[in-house]
Amino acid sequence: QKGDPKAAINALHASLNYQQDRSTEIELAQALAQAGRIHEAVAYFTTLRDSEPGNGIINLHLARLAARQNKQAQAIDYYQTALDGTWEGDGYQRRRDVRLELAKYLISIQRFSQARTQLLVASGNAPNQPKVQLQIAGMLEQCQSQADALQIYRTLAKQRDPSWQALAGAGRTAYQLGQFVLAHHYLDRALYARGFATQPITVQAAIRK
């Protein structure tokens, strides 16, 4: 927690000498990754995966390490296995978070069509969570899917006391799609929406413009 992975590695090694424990082994592999010892971390996580191939957290860490090594196909495969894997605690939320992380990675490597698919699934799995929907709509914009983003923004805008972000997002995407009357409608509403007045002057000026 103090950002000293070297000390963590020594302490975790000592702990495992006393007693073998799966969660401690995972923490050790994480510490190795944080220390920049990527190949050791990959080897450690791979060994853990061999004994528990469907473990969600192990596959997630392998996906992140593969992404750091620019092994795109391998990273995507590990992310997908993590989605299909087993999770302790709230597996529903963990899988949603992994799906959004996968979508973010796909956007970073410009695989926009695949990212869009993951985002639409995530949106369908979180119908009553405005904050998540707002995040998904923003990511859909990043993968050049303005029409899908506009649909989500408009749904959010229908709610009681919608946020200025939802209204501004609807206006922005409508404008990008050439729907100027609709864009004016939502951008005008954004000026008077909850939270707008507390935004930085530059943000307010951009919406007014």
Per-residue pLDDT reduced to its tens digit, 46-63: 998 998 899 899 999 999
* Residue 142: Cβ within 10 Å count: 15
Question: In this predicted model, which residue has the larger pLDDT, 32 or 79?
Answer: 79
3-class SS of residue 194:
strand
The reported pTM is 0.88
Q: State whether the Cα torsion 107-111-116-118 is positive or negative.
A: negative
pLDDT above 80 (res 89): no
pLDDT in tens, 108-137: 999 999 999 999 999 998 888 999 999 999
As given in the structure block, the two tokens for residue 8 are 């963590």
Q: How far, in Å, are 69, 124, 190 from residue 74 at the CA level? A: 10, 26, 42
Place of tokens 């510490």: 31
- What's the CA gap between 179 and 106, in Å, rounded? 28
pLDDT above 80 (res 90): no
* Residue 105: Cβ within 10 Å count: 21
* Residue 208: Cβ within 10 Å count: 10
- Residues 153, 119, 186: CA angle, nearest 5 degrees: 10
- Residues 194, 142, 176: CA angle, nearest 5 degrees: 70
- What's the CA gap between 67 and 75, in Å, rounded? 5
Cβ(199)–Cβ(164) below 8 Å: yes
Place of tokens 């405005």: 130
pLDDT in tens, 19-42: 888 888 888 888 888 888 889 889
Query: For residue 109, which of 141, 83, 136, 73 has the smallest C-alpha distance?
Result: 73
- What's the CA gap between 128 and 160, in Å, rounded? 13
Angle of helix 38-51 relative to helix 22-34, nearest 10 degrees, comes to 160
In this prediction, residue 190 has a pLDDT band, given cuts at 50, 70 and 90, of: very high
